[in-house]
């Protein structure tokens, strides 16, 4: 796994910023490896994050990892491993039981309720079930977040047109979600997530219901946005696709993070 051997002994081992088998004697190292939250080159920092939905159901256990600015990273693991929970934590849809999360320079534990909407403007989210509005057309679904932000109509129209062109959806602009294919619905969801030109793009199993050809096309779209500077984190269980793209991988296994 590429672990620096000089940082490994019988008491503990270090994988990225994740510490395994930590003993009291290693507390100094825990503190020395603590993320530097003012580091502008690091876009996502998770430090010893624990998440319990109930007292006896712990989904995440001491999860620690970093994603650098402009990086394209896969978050992999079996169904139920905790990938969706991590994404929800990152856009402040959930609050961890304990641990620290810093996203786009903001320590999420210090965010007030009134600050959350402004924080989320920096993050685009592609949901596993798309969450498209059935009573809105393709172009209306793409435009909705910009309307909420109060962006001028002319700017919304230009942005929507540009995104529909990038997603090859111009001919579907007036169609409703039920009238388009699953692959087209996924592209609408991606266009909506990118509508506000977010700093970070989070995608939850974006190819779960697509065939291999369409799955690769969706990943190429993500790579295109990443090439322009967007930090991309994709949660998936499609290991074959991950290997094909050859990007950095963080594995969630039994609620813990492992760099591979």
pLDDT in tens, 130-142: 999 999 999 999 9
Q: What are phi and psi of 127, to 5 degrees?
A: -80, 155
| pTM, 2 dp | 0.82
Residue-level pLDDT at 231: 98
The residues, ordered by sequence, that sit 6+ positions from 79 with a Cβ below 8 Å of its Cβ are 237
Residue-level pLDDT at 39: 59
Each residue's pLDDT tens digit, 89-115: 999 999 999 999 999 999 999 999 999
Each residue's pLDDT tens digit, 39-93: 568 999 999 999 998 777 899 999 999 999 999 999 999 888 999 999 999 999 9
**Residue, of 148 and 179, whose pLDDT is higher:** 179
User: Which has the closest alpha carbon to 171: 183, 184, 182, 159?
Assistant: 184
pLDDT confidence tier of residue 255, bands split at 50, 70 and 90: confident
Residue-level pLDDT at 260: 64
User: Which has the closest alpha carbon to 208: 93, 130, 91?
Assistant: 130
Give the chain's mean pLDDT: 85
DSSP structure class, residue 95: -
**Can you list the positions of beta strands (E) in the chain?**
13-15, 18-20, 42-54, 57-68, 72-76, 98-103, 106-107, 123-126, 200-204, 231-236, 248-253, 256-259
Strand partners, 220: none
Is a pLDDT exceeding 60 seen at residue 32?
A: no
Each residue's pLDDT tens digit, 165-196: 999 999 999 999 999 999 999 999 999 999 99
For the residues 136-156, what does the mean pLDDT come to?
Answer: 94
For the residues 227-237, what does the mean pLDDT come to?
Answer: 96
């Amino acid at each position: 796994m590429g672990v620096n051997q000089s940082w490994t002994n019988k008491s503990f081992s270090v994988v990225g910023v994740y510490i395994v088998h930590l003993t009291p004697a290693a507390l100094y190292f825990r503190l020395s490896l603590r993320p530097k939250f003012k580091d502008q080159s690091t876009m996502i920092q998770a430090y010893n994050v624990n998440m319990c939905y109930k007292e006896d159901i712990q989904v995440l256990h001491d999860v620690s990892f970093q994603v650098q600015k402009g990086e394209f990273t896969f978050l992999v693991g079996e169904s139920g491993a905790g990938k969706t929970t991590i994404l929800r934590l990152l856009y402040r849809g959930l609050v961890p039981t304990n641990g620290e999360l810093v996203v786009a320079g903001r320590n999420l534990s210090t965010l007030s309720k009134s600050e959350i909407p402004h924080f989320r403007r920096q993050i685009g989210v592609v949901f596993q079930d798309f969450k498209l509005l059935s009573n809105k057309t393709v172009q209306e679904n793409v435009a909705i977040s910009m309307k909420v932000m109060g962006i001028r109509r002319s700017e919304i129209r230009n942005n929507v047109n540009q995104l529909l062109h990038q997603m090859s959806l111009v001919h579907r602009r007036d169609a409703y979600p039920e009238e388009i294919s699953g692959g087209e619905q996924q592209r609408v969801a991606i266009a909506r997530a990118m509508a506000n030109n977010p700093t970070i793009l989070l995608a939850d199993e974006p190819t779960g219901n697509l065939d291999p050809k369409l799955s690769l096309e969706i990943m190429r779209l993500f790579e295109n946005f990443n090439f322009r500077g967007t930090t991309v984190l994709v949660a998936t269980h499609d290991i074959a696709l991950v290997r094909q793209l050859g990007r950095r991988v963080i594995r969630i296994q039994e609620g813990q993070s492992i760099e591979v």
